[in-house]
């Protein structure tokens, strides 16, 4: 199968050195494999996504010497596919509606009977399960504007798997987790946010499959989330890609770069007269 990878930025701020590294590495790998490189705009968070940022992403990537296949996929245009997948999981009884807000979750997760300090997984505080038996479920209709959670224990029972393995090619972490570990340390993640009708996790697995991605190249900060993605791929009958979770580019203090680190924004380096080769050297490519 042709090596097919993608760069999937969210247009919520300027690209920084970390994004440049990820995009260049994926692009280089596709070229070396005589494969395909696609671009996907992950704009499901309508409250934060901006056209201006999307345009700047295109400009920065072109300047870096990156070329992608047309057309560019925009997640905001894929909502019907996300909804069908949600309804499929809902009808299997694997989702439930959750009405907890952040404060409720923190309070329940820090209650003395929970041990006092909340467990944090790849998706934030591991959900203490408040709505697992109280929230709406199939056969009730799938509510259109509600937060929906995946019942992780039910999902793993449905799959009949005692462990989940991911095919990881760079990151050194253990590539297998037992079902018990996934239930305990990841738990019932939000699969559709009330304000979005989807989530990063659901959209990313559906779109990687839809775009025929064989190789996902992204930062090591998303390594743990890959176990969520592996569960969803299996539930939805989607192929599982190979993963390449690369090292993170850090600032001088060793902190990983965030969108707000405008100091490391590619547009800033461009304005200062640096060349794409300088950016490659700065990220060690
Ligand atoms: N949209 C995600 C981000 O901006 C990338 C997700 C991925 O590569 O899977 O971090």
pLDDT of residue 195: 93
Indicate whether residue 22 lines ligand 1 (CB < 6 A).
no
pLDDT of residue 277: 97
Atom of ligand 1 nearest to the CA of 219: 8
Distance, in Å, from the CA atom of 96 to the CA atom of 146, rounded to the nearest integer, reads 9
Give the global pTM: 0.95
Residues 119-145 have pLDDT tens digits of 999 999 999 999 999 999 999 999 989
Query: What atom in ligand 1 is closest to the CA of residue 7?
Result: 8
Q: Which atom of ligand 1 is nearest to the CA of 6?
A: 8
Residue nearest to atom 5 of ligand 1 (CA): 8
Q: What is the topology classification, in CATH, of domain 1-77+250-285?
A: Rossmann fold (3.40.50)
Instruction: Evaluate: CB of 73 within 6 angstroms of ligand 1.
Output: no
Rounded Cα–Cα distance for residues 8 and 11 (Å): 10
Containing H/E element for 22? helix 17-32
Residue ranges per domain, the chain? Answer: 1-77+250-285, 79-243
Mode of pairing for the β-strands spanning 95-98 and 163-165: unpaired
| pLDDT of amino acid 261 | 67
Burial level of 230, CB count in 10 A (0-12/13-18/19+)?
Answer: buried
Regarding the beta carbon of 8 and ligand 1, being less than 6 Å apart is answered: yes
Is residue 262 over pLDDT 80? no
Ligand 1 center from residue 209 Cα (angstroms): 15
| Ligand 1 binding pocket mutation candidate from 16, 40, 42, 260 (most atoms within 8 A of CB) | 42
SS3 call for 34: coil
Binding site membership of 222 for ligand 1 (Cβ less than 6 Å)? yes
Domain 1-77+250-285 and domain 79-243, same fold? Reply is yes
* 124: alpha, beta or left? (left if phi > 0; alpha if psi -120 to 50): left
Q: What is the pLDDT of residues 22-80, one digit of tens each?
A: 999 999 999 999 999 999 999 999 999 999 999 999 999 999 999 999 999 999 999 99
Please name the residue whose Cα sits nearest to atom 6 of ligand 1: 8
Residue 159 near residue 234 (C-beta atoms within 8 A): yes
Burial class (CB in 10 A: 0-12, 13-18, 19+), 215: buried
CATH code reported for the domain at 79-243: 3.40.50.620
Three-state secondary structure call for residue 256: strand
What's the token pair of residue 273? 């007269």
Atom of ligand 1 nearest to the CA of 225: 9
First-to-final CA distance of the chain: 26
Q: Which residue has the tokens 């404060």?
A: 103
């Amino acid at each position: 199968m042709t090596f097919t990878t993608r760069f999937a930025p969210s247009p919520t701020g300027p690209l920084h050195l970390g994004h440049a590294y990820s995009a260049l590495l994926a692009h280089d790998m596709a070229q070396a494999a005589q494969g395909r490189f696609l671009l996907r705009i992950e704009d499901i968070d309508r409250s934060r996504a901006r056209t201006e940022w999307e345009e700047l992403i295109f400009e920065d990537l072109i300047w870096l010497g990156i070329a992608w296949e047309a057309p560019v996929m925009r997640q905001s245009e894929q909502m019907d596919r996300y909804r069908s997948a949600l309804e499929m999981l809902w009808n299997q009884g694997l989702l439930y509606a959750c009405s907890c807000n952040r404060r409720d979750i923190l309070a329940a997760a820090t209650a003395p009977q929970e041990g006092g300090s909340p467990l944090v997984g790849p998706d934030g505080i591991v959900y203490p399960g408040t709505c697992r038996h109280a929230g709406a479920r199939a056969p009730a209709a799938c509510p259109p504007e509600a937060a929906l959670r995946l019942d992780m224990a039910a999902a793993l029972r449905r799959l009949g798997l005692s462990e989940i393995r991911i095919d990881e090619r760079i990151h050194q972490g253990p590539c297998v987790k037992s079902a018990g570990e996934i239930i305990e340390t990841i738990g019932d993640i939000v699969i559709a946010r009330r304000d979005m009708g989807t989530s990063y996790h659901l959209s990313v697995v559906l779109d990687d499959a839809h775009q025929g991605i064989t190789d996902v190249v992204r930062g090591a900060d998303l390594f743990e989330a890959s176990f969520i993605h592996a569960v969803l791929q299996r539930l939805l009958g989607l192929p599982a890609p190979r993963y390449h979770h690369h090292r993170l580019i850090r600032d001088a203090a060793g902190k990983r770069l965030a969108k707000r680190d405008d100091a490391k924004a590619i547009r800033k380096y461009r304005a200062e007269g640096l060349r794409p080769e300088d950016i490659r050297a700065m990220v060690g490519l």
